[in-house]
Each structure stands twice: as C-alpha cells, then as structure tokens.
C-alpha cells in the first residue's frame, strides 16, 4: 500500500499580533514562528499507523518554500519513508491552483499511490478544500472530516466522517481515493529533536514547482487584507491579579452562579 | 436565466437552520434563488425561494460528492449554469463544494462571512479570524462559495410559494457509499444543562493543568468544558466539547480560559448570557464576543482565584 500524505508548514499565529503591510497587499509574518499544520500532523500519524498495521510506505509531500523541508523531516521522523518538496516561490492563495500543481506533479512524475491523505484544513487559510478539489480533478472518490478508519482493505476503506453536533456518517470508499483527516482521530506520536535530526539523513526529493504549472489559472484573487470589524463589546478587567480576581468573582455573584 | 443555486442541507429529515445563511447571501447577490435539496423536509422551506428543485433521492445519497455531481449535472442541463453555487461551510457543505469546484473547474471561496455588493468582493477569514481577505473571482463563469453560519441570516426573505421541479432517475456512483449514521456516545456530564461553564482551551498548556481547573470548577460549582484541541488531546471527554462538532451551550456564565475563539468554537457558545474570556493575547478573537475580558496568563489567574475562594 502506497500512501501519500500532504503536510504544510504554517505560521503559528495564535499568540501573535498580525500586521497588514504594503497598503493591504500583504500580512507581515516575518516575526511569526512556523510549525506543522495541526490537521496534517494527525494525517501523517494516521497514514503511518495504517502502513504499520498492513504494509507499504508513506510518502510525505509538501508544497511551499524551501523551509517546508522541515515538515517533511518531521513526517519522516514519524515514520514516513521519504519526502517530496514541490518548491514554489509564490504563495498560491487559490486552493484550485494548488491542486492543479499537485495534479500535474503526480502525473508527470508518475507517482504511484493507493490513497492520498490530507488534513481537513490548514490553519492559515482555512479553505478546507484541497483534498476535495484534488480528488475531483483526479476523478477519485473522496471522503472528508474523517474521524475514524474502521477498516483499510486492499480495495476499500470503511471510514467515519464527522458531521455537526456529534453525529457521524459511516461510509465505504473504494481505493484509490482521497481522504481528509480531522483532528482527534488519533494521538500523534511525540517527535524529538533527535528524531528530526536523524530523519535529515533520509533523502528528500526536491522538485521545481514551475515545471507543474500548466493549466494554472487561479480562479480567485486577493483584493486586499483587512482587519476584522471590531465589535468591541468586552469590558476589560485590569489592574493587579488580586483585584481582577475579586472583580471576576463579583461578576459571578451578580450573575447568580456563585454565592 | 441568471440565478444563484443554493444547496440546502437536510440532516435526518430536518432542514438545517444554517441554510438561512446560504439563502441570505443569495438574496444579497440579487439573483433569482433556486434551492436544491433532497427529498424530505422539502415541503417546509420551498417558500423561501423562487424555485425549489427536489432531487428525489434520500439525504444520504445527496450528501455524497460523487452522486451530487450527477445531481448538479441534471440541474445544469435543465436550468442552465448558475452564476454562484452556495453551500454552508459545514462538514458536508465544504466536502460537496470542494468536489464540485474541482470537478467543474469552478473557482471556490470558502468560509465566506461577508459580501460587498458594490465591489463584488467576498470576505474570508484567515489565521483564525485575526485577518480577513477580500477575495474576488478572477475570471468569469460560475463560482462556488461556502458560507459561515450566522453571517447572512438577516438577509433571508420569505418569497412565497416556489415553483417546484423534481429531479428523477439519478444513477448512483459506486466509489463511495453510505453505511449508516453513528451517534456519539453520551458522556457522564451534560454540559448543555450547566448554568456556569468553566471552559479551557489549548492555552492552558498541558494535561497536568486539568486537575487544577477541575478543582477550581469544584470550588466555584462550575462545570468543566473545553475547546476541541483539549478534547482531541484527551484532556477531557468528548461529551464536554463546546462547538459546532461538539455541543451548543447557553449557560448564564461562560468563562473561557486559554481559548482563541475560532468560529467553530464561538458557534457553540456565543448565545451564553455572560461570556468572560481570559487570554494572554490581546488580539485573540474571543474578546470580540466576550462581555468581560482579562488579558493575562490563565493558569496564574486560576491559581489566584483558587486561593481567594478557599479563603
Ligand atoms: C470541521 C471543524 C470542526 C471543528 N469543531 C470545533 C468544535 O466543535 N469546538 C472547537 O472548540 N473547535 C472546533 N474546531 C477547531 C477550531 O477551528 C480551532 O482549532 C479550535 O477551536 C482552537 O481551540 P483553542 O482556542 O483551544 O486553541 P488555539 O486556537 O490554539 O488557542 C489557544 C489560545 O490560548 C492562548 N494562550 C496561550 N497560552 C496562554 C496562557 N498561558 N494563558 C492564557 N491564554 C493563553 C493563545 O493566545 C490562544 O489564543 C473545528 C474545526 C473544524 C475544521
């Protein structure tokens, strides 16, 4: 079983103040640390677990700048056999354009696979669309938001996908197919710095994105970046920690949930 | 005819509330609105649009992207291509939308929460709502959007009786098939009944912190709940997850500690009477929804609160 898993290097913006620069044309990420996309971490883990149980290999693929090699090394440290980096020098905001590059890449390089794993979405652009677009372009069955794989056979997968409010849908999907993985499906293994260092010795293959740009017609364009409209409702409790806590308890009492 | 196609979501016979957002953006686009839905809850909602197309298949078949392509092809044969196809930004909405965009090579913008009629730009969240992108379609032809629930509800209109069209004879695809719906296991604690929820997020750091939050919850007579990462990491049971894929809660007080305020979380708690947020990042989106906010370390605040309450 040959499994491909897409993994992306994303900015960790949760605790960062983000600045729009260049009159709305860019967001300054120069001081932001980068990490592996949370959803992809689960996808890599799931793919690795499947080949550990059956047999075969996992190949991690990333599309991005040269630094994305870092997430490939991480995937190898988790158990992927090798890593491919499709190097692009521009950010493709259109998930359709990214899928086109990948589709061309898989075809031109004749990459064999039985299933492709992606994360449900990436933390930065939150499109949640790559897996689906790619599957359709490749003419393959697709299942998204997968929260459980109950069986992985030579010709099909039985998967549970998450719907809203705790409801799941169990489906049978024929291979080859594309599967997008939701967080919580497993507990991704811990990766030590030593492990990543060891993984650096495994050869990664680098490809120039330019080679795979035929039919690349971005369907959407960014006009500009803007800050969210401020609703500004919150009253901030400020001062010393002691005072803040007393104010907070005052609010709880006033709301009648604490005496 | 120029029209906007709204793909309705029906779950176990119920016309989902979030469809009103899809109809809302369609109303803003000012095109004639065609509603496409599976058999089932149809009779109730035809009056929100001009034309309702009922695919005479069950909802499970309808929410399978492979079959949906066939259904959409039929719609386009009978009514021409729509200008915009609208889905909700939900599990199945996002799944169908991406597959449709890939199959028909249509541009796609997801998680749209605003639309400007003057400039034709769609607003889309980036970086968990810290920045928004204004997007425009680059070429011409139909485009696909998914809309964030709660964003366009106010534009929904009652249009009166719709013309109804039935789509029959759909040949089903073989690549993916529905087996069953699976209900989540019930937990011991019902967070939907609690009047006071103490909710923790990834910001609390690690699993070892949970015991201290549990203790604080005990002292304050609050019930502990959490955001998705906390449940994914198994720091708390699944039944205690707040959000779109967890529970919708409406307590008197929702005290959120170390939670950023991603919309899937907000959707599950925004109707709480009083929201108090503690976060060390002053830019955390949750402050936009909170009534009271504290900028600081949640764990330190927790320890201090414990000391004070213990006396
Ligand atoms: C289909 C789908 C369904 C989803 N369903 C849900 C759902 O039901 N519920 C849900 O919650 N999420 C859901 N999510 C995930 C959601 O998108 C977010 O990833 C998640 O809500 C983030 O959780 P968080 O705020 O705890 O973590 P993060 O976004 O990582 O935020 C952590 C916050 O803690 C702050 N922080 C860090 N350290 C401290 C400290 N010492 N003191 C105080 N603050 C600190 C940071 O500034 C940050 O704001 C879903 C996603 C998808 C794609």
Q: Please report residues of A whose CB lies closer than 8 A to that of B183.
A: 166-168
CA A34–ligand 1 middle distance (angstroms): 17
Q: What is the mean pLDDT of chain B?
A: 93
Residue B146: name the closest of B73, B79, B93 by CA: B93
Is the predicted pLDDT of residue B43 greater than 70, yes or no? no
Interior/surface letters B104-130, b for 16+ CB within 10 angstroms, e for the rest:
bbbbbbbbbbbbeeeeebbbbbbbbbb
More confident residue, A217 or B232: B232
What secondary structure letter does DSSP report for B108?
A: E
Cβ contact B127:A18 at 8 Å: yes
Q: What pLDDT does A91 receive?
A: 84
Q: A185 with A48: CB under 8 angstroms?
A: no
pLDDT at position B42 = 58
**Does pLDDT of B228 surpass 80?**
yes
Burial class (CB in 10 A: 0-12, 13-18, 19+), B176: buried
Interface predicted TM-score (ipTM): 0.96
- What would you report as the CA-atom Rg of chain A, rounded to the nearest whole angstrom? 21
CA distance B110 to chain A (A): 6
pLDDT, residue A57, reads 97
Note the pTM of the prediction, 2 decimals.
Answer: 0.96
pLDDT in tens, B172-186: 999 999 999 999 888
Which candidate in B12, B63, B182 is best for mutational testing of the A interface (most A CBs within 10 A)? Answer: B182
B236 C-beta closer than 6 A to ligand 1: no
Query: A62, A71 in Cβ contact below 8 A?
Result: yes
The terminus-to-terminus CA distance of chain B in angstroms comes to: 72
Q: Please, which pLDDT band fits residue B40 given cuts at 50, 70 and 90? A: confident
Residue A94's pLDDT is what?
94
Q: Which residue has its alpha carbon closest to ligand 1 atom 26?
A: B201
Does the structure show a pLDDT above 90 at B159?
no
Q: Collapsing DSSP states into helix, strand and coil, what is residue B144? A: strand
Inter-CA distances, B17 with B23, B99, B149, B267, Å:
11, 23, 9, 13
In this predicted structure, what is the pLDDT of residue B161?
82
Q: What pLDDT, on a 0 to 100 scale, did the predictor assign at position B44?
A: 58
Give the closest-approach CA distance of A26 to chain B in angstroms.
Answer: 10
When scoring B18, B88, B98 by the number of chain A Cβ atoms within 10 A, the one with the most, hence best to mutate, is B98
Cβ of residue B256 closer than 8 Å to a chain A Cβ = no
What digits encode the pLDDT tens for the residues B75-128?
999 999 999 999 999 999 999 999 999 999 999 999 999 999 999 999 999 999
Q: What are phi and psi of A165, to 5 degrees?
A: 60, 30
For residue A145, which atom of ligand 1 is closest to its CA? Answer: 1
Within 8 A of B283 by CB-CB distance, chain A residues are 16-18
Q: pLDDT tens digits for A56-74? A: 999 999 999 999 999 999 9
Ligand 1 centroid to residue A46 C-alpha, Å: 22
Q: What pLDDT digit, counting tens, does each position of B271-307 carry?
A: 999 999 999 999 999 999 999 999 999 999 999 999 9
pLDDT number for residue A132: 98
Q: From the list A94, A132, A225, which residue is nearest B98 (CB)?
A: A132
A151 touches chain B (CB under 8 A): no
Nearest-angstrom CA–CA distance, A129 and A133: 6
B258 Cα–ligand 1 center, Å: 8
Ligand 1 site, residue A41, Cβ cutoff 6 A: no
Alpha carbon nearest to ligand 1 atom 52, residue? B264
Q: Pick out chain A residues at pLDDT < 70.
A: none
């Amino acid at each position: 079983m040959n499994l491909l898993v897409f993994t992306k290097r994303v900015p960790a913006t949760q605790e960062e103040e983000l600045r729009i620069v260049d009159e709305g044309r860019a967001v300054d990420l120069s001081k932001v640390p980068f990490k592996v996309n949370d959803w992809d971490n689960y996808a890599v883990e799931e793919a690795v677990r499947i080949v550990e149980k059956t047999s075969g290999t996992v190949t991690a693929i990333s599309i991005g700048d040269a630094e994305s090699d870092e997430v490939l090394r991480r995937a190898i440290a988790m158990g992927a056999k090798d890593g491919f980096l499709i190097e692009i020098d521009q950010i493709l905001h259109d998930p359709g354009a990214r899928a086109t590059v990948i589709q061309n890449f898989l075809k031109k390089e004749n990459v064999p696979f039985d299933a492709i794993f992606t994360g449900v979405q990436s933390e930065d652009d939150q499109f949640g669309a790559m897996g689906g677009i790619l599957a359709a372009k490749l003419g393959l069955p697709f299942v998204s938001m997968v929260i459980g794989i109950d069986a992985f056979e030579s010709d099909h997968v039985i998967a549970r996908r998450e719907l809203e409010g705790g409801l799941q849908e169990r489906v049978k999907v024929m291979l080859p197919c594309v599967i997008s993985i939701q967080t919580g499906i497993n507990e991704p293994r811990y990766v030590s710095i030593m492990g990543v260092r060891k993984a650096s010795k495994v050869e990664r293959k680098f490809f120039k994105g330019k080679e795979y740009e035929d039919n690349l017609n971005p369907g959407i364009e960014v006009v500009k970046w803007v800050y969210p409209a401020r609703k500004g409702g919150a009253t901030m409790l400020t001062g010393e920690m002691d005072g803040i806590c007393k104010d907070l308890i005052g609010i709880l009492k006033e709301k009648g949930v604490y005496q | 005819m120029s029209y906007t196609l709204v793909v309705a979501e029906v779950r176990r016979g119920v016309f989902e509330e979030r469809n009103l957002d899809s109809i809302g953006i369609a109303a803003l686009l000012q095109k004639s609105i065609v509603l496409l839905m599976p058999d089932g809850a149809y009779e109730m909602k035809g009056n929100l649009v001009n034309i309702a197309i009922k695919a005479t298949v069950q909802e499970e078949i309808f929410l399978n992207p492979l079959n949906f392509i066939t259904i959409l092809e039929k719609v386009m044969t009978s009514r021409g291509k729509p200008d915009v196809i609208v889905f909700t930004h939900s599990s199945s909405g996002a799944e169908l939308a991406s597959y449709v965009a890939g199959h028909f090579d249509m541009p796609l913008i997801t998680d749209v929460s605003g639309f400007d009629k003057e400039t034709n730009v769609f607003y889309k969240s980036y970086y968990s709502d810290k920045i928004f992108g204004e997007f425009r379609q680059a070429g011409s032809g139909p485009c696909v959007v998914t809309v964030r629930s709660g964003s366009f509800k106010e534009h929904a209109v009652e249009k009166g009786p719709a013309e109804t069209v039935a789509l029959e004879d759909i040949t089903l695809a073989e690549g993916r098939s529905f087996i069953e719906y699976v209900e989540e296991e019930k937990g011991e604690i019902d967070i939907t009944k609690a009047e006071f929820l103490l909710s923790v997020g990834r910001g609390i750091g690690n699993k070892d912190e949970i015991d201290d939050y549990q203790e604080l919850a005990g002292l304050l007579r609050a019930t502990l709940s959490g955001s998705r990462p906390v449940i994914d990491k198994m720091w708390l049971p699944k039944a205690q997850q707040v959000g779109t894929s967890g529970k919708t809660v409406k307590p008197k007080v929702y005290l959120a500690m170390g939670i950023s305020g991603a919309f899937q979380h907000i959707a599950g708690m925004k109707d709480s009477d009083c929201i108090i947020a503690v976060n060390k990042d002053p830019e955390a989106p949750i402050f936009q929804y909170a009534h009271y906010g504290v900028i600081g370390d949640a764990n330190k605040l927790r320890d201090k609160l414990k000391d004070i309450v213990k006396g």
